[in-house]
A and B are shown apart, each in its own frame.
Chain A
């Protein structure tokens, strides 16, 4: 169990900047997730921690020891690859035992520890098989067993569940969390699946174009996204263009979105009247009932889609399109009129810039 620190790490591949001055502090025994769209630099970050890539500038520490230019084999990290990377010419047992053999662990001890890891992952019955005789889920378990058996300081997971089907993914997700709690190992987890990130992590770093947009607990990331990108990438959002009409004080502002006026919470400091802004509203925070007379939007239902436990409703109010999640049983029908109530706290206002999409 070790902390990991990345200090002002920059990495370029030719002309593209994969990581731009990234600083991260990952605590001991934490599940820390790097979340972002493909190409955002999350896998590069992981590979720099593992030592497969060397940063152009900046430094990396594991457990207080600087490892920036250390070779991968001297770092005592263990990585689970997206494609599992099981060696096809070795049986499951030998795959798992490989790291132990390199560490010159005795034969008996190897057998004991491989068995321990195999039991933990419920693959004792597969030890004599070759990787190509296993299902995807089984291969995944072998890859994890191989990683944990050496008792690494740090466990690195590169989209480990992306090749599994939806059902298995949920199951493995739970197991990985349970395993990490049991071992107490520091885990860095890379994914582009925001739901996966929210459900397993202690903390999340949302990355975009080689930069860290926000670091925080899943709740913080979801409830208080610090940028428009985070708000739109994590969870579903209505993303509207507006102009500041009035500064109300107490962090509240009035925004004109077309002909609709809403009171919202300023998420960017120093907004002033006439500024162009992005307005973010979570669909599930729009209520169809309420008493307040602030932020009541009236409009026509244009679409209603049943989605199981909820319905997705689209309404058009004076030319402004709004998506709403509502109880499926009480979903209004297209063509009807609708009144929507939105708490000013749930109307998040960010300054528009070229950067936020």
Chain B
């Protein structure tokens, strides 16, 4: 009789239970709670179709032109306020379209053409992917969102009209600058994986330039592009930084966070908040559809057998040259301005007019001597370490089940373990609050209002485990099965084989993955500023930054302090990512599929 090995029962169960309890259950609770209330209280569903959620009559203008008697005129690009729900969707849609066009173009150019400084540009394009919670958007505001900003100053000089962005238009600008590299990274890695002979064959038959890209490169890179685009859509909906910096209150993310932070327990959170969170989740399903297609297409086309060689880089033609020097490079410089600006904020005395003034270490000194900041750093690091250890367990069991055991559940588990990348953290936070606000948990360790630490650790582990899991997959894929079979053949049981052969051989991959999980946990925003704000004693560092930027308005001293904290976070990320790149010899350690 065939007896199943205990490993093949035990291994799939660990991640299955983990994700069922911490991802499935909270999301179900989120779905269930409003339904019950809707029935019990006969809540009029139409209220979410009215102000402030939907404005029957949009407020404001698309742009404002102000004539001033002395000094330059002003052209302020804003946008109409259509209400919380339409605003969020409009912003996410426009940002996604812009980010997709820019990211795909940048990927096409850097993957096909050789030009001086190409490698430098490729590294610089990664900079916007460094998490700089909240403050990056303030830099965008400072540069492009005020009369005396750099954009306004330059246009006033050149055309006599000071042009700048405010309101929703500013949010769109800031988010496009922040998120386009996500499309870039995914599109680029899709493009370089295309078997070079597929492009050469087209050239051989007479295709060139744009025709070649339109008929072969883009269709083959479409899976990567669409996965990246869907991520941008979700990230835009969840983003808080840009709306805070541009003082836009009427978006879903801000409503949800404000409701949670103002609540004394879960019953005081309004029913509309749950409905908004449900809309947020359904946007994640968009991503799921895109990725599902990606997974089914993953094997096909990419690096077939035999005759594989490095793709030659072309000398750019005239159109490509124009795109490189007049579009790509200036755009990349604009895109890294928030990261540079954060450093400028952290070390300058004032930045109220066009240029910053004075160099100082005061901000750095004052945060390093603030016990609240130090305590929050300690909290974040502690939570992140425990979350990393948990994610290690999840990664090993998941990847081994998917890559080696190949049970009936392997495919489902594969998908489940990837979902957290696209799972809106605000929805997860709300789900956890509902799930653990019961009579039985009240005032115990399991009450998120009293003791948020446990829930932050678990939320980090759920949200950031895909980084470790993906690294583990990569390790197992490259580890030839025969090495394990040889040990088994000599009489080692499966557990023993895993311990003696598998784990040591993929150790470096696991280390890299854990490091990423760690830094991305420390910089996590959505659950940190919601659950993490419920009891100040347990707040993580990102909540402190949030508190600073929402307390002191743009340009104020608080932004300098927040920037000083973020500079430390950036340093942490650069160290970790460099270490991972050296260890894994891979460049795409960032967000991507």
Listed in ascending order, the chain A residues whose CB lies under 8 Å from chain B are 43, 50-53, 71-79, 81-85, 87-89, 98-99, 102-103, 132, 146, 150, 158-159, 162-163
Contact = CB atoms under 8 A, between A and B. Distances in A.
A173 B205 CA distance: 23
Contact of A99 (B198, B205, B216, B220): B205
A89 B302 CA distance: 12
A347 B38 CA distance: 99
B191 to A, nearest CB: 14
B65 interface: no
Interface residues of B, number: 25
Given A78-B205, A79-B200, A99-B205, 18 more contacts: A52-B200, A71-B208, A72-B203, A73-B203, A76-B206, A78-B204, A81-B197, A82-B197, A83-B304, A83-B308, A85-B198, A89-B301, A98-B207, A102-B205, A158-B307, A159-B306, A159-B307, A162-B306
Contacts of B203: 51-52, 71-73
30 contacts: A43-B307, A51-B204, A52-B312, A72-B200, A72-B203, A72-B204, A73-B204, A73-B205, A73-B206, A73-B207, A73-B208, A79-B200, A81-B197, A81-B307, A83-B197, A84-B304, A85-B195, A85-B198, A87-B198, A87-B201, A88-B300, A88-B301, A89-B301, A98-B205, A99-B206, A146-B201, A146-B205, A158-B307, A159-B306, A159-B307
Query: Considering the complex of A and B, which 4 residue pairs feature the smallest CB-CB distances, nearest first?
Result: A99-B205, A82-B307, A85-B197, A88-B301
Interface string B73-88: 0000000000000000
A43 B306 CA distance: 12
Interface string B528-545: 000000000000000000
Interface of B: 195, 197-198, 200-208, 211, 215-216, 219-220, 300-301, 304-308, 312
B206 A82 contact: no
Contacts of A74: 206
Contacts of B304: 83-85
A77 B301 CA distance: 24
B171 to A, nearest CB: 36
Contacts of B301: 87-89
Nearest to B207: A102
B305 A103 contact: no
B195 A83 contact: yes
A87 B216 contact: yes
Which one of B201, B219, B305 has the highest number of Cβ atoms from chain A below 10 Å of its Cβ? B201
Nearest to B200: A52
Contacts of A82: 197, 306-307
Contacts of B215: 98
A147 B300 CA distance: 22
Contacts of A84: 304
A75 B200 CA distance: 13
Contacts of A99: 205-206
A89 to B, nearest CB: 4
Nearest to A103: B206
A52 B198 CA distance: 13
A43 B215 CA distance: 26
A180 to B, nearest CB: 18
A238 B476 CA distance: 46
Interface of A is mostly: loop
A41 to B, nearest CB: 14
A98 B306 contact: no
Contact of A98 (B197, B200, B202, B220): B202
A168 B14 CA distance: 48
B552 to A, nearest CB: 52
A88 B208 contact: no
B201 A79 contact: yes
Given A52-B312, A159-B307, A85 B211 contact: no
Contacts of B300: 88, 132
B305 A83 contact: yes
B211 A102 contact: yes
Contacts of A77: 204
A52 B200 CA distance: 7
Given A88-B300, A89-B220, A163-B306, A50 B204 contact: yes
Nearest to A95: B201
A83 B202 contact: no
Contacts of A53: 312
A88 B203 CA distance: 16
A35 B374 CA distance: 71
Contact of B201 (A85, A89, A159, A162): A85
A79 B200 CA distance: 9
A50 B204 CA distance: 7
Nearest to B297: A88
Nearest to B314: A71
A43 B220 CA distance: 26
Contacts of B306: 82-83, 159, 162-163
Given A88-B220, A88-B301, A102-B211, A81 B201 contact: yes
Contacts of A83: 195, 197, 304-308
B280 to A, nearest CB: 33
Which one of B205, B207, B300, B308 has the highest number of Cβ atoms from chain A below 10 Å of its Cβ? B205
B377 to A, nearest CB: 48
A146 B202 CA distance: 11
Nearest to A158: B307
Nearest to A102: B206
A182 to B, nearest CB: 21
A89 B200 CA distance: 16
A202 B482 CA distance: 45
B36 to A, nearest CB: 47
Contact of B200 (A85, A88, A162): A85
Which one of A71, A85, A103, A163 has the highest number of Cβ atoms from chain B below 10 Å of its Cβ? A85
A209 to B, nearest CB: 19
B155 to A, nearest CB: 42
A103 B206 CA distance: 8
Contacts of B312: 52-53
Nearest to B201: A85
A159 B220 CA distance: 25
Contacts of B207: 73, 98, 102
Contacts of A163: 305-306
A78 B308 CA distance: 19
Contact of B219 (A71, A85, A89, A102): A89
Contacts of B198: 85, 87
B208 A79 contact: no
A57 to B, nearest CB: 19
Contacts of A79: 200-201, 204
A187 B300 CA distance: 30
A328 B304 CA distance: 43
A81 B308 CA distance: 10
A75 B307 CA distance: 22
A82 B306 CA distance: 7
A132 B205 CA distance: 21
B208 to A, nearest CB: 5
A89 B216 CA distance: 8
A103 B211 CA distance: 12
A267 to B, nearest CB: 35
A102 B220 CA distance: 19
Contacts of A52: 200, 203-204, 312
A98 B214 CA distance: 13
B216 to A, nearest CB: 6
B313 to A, nearest CB: 13
Nearest to A71: B208
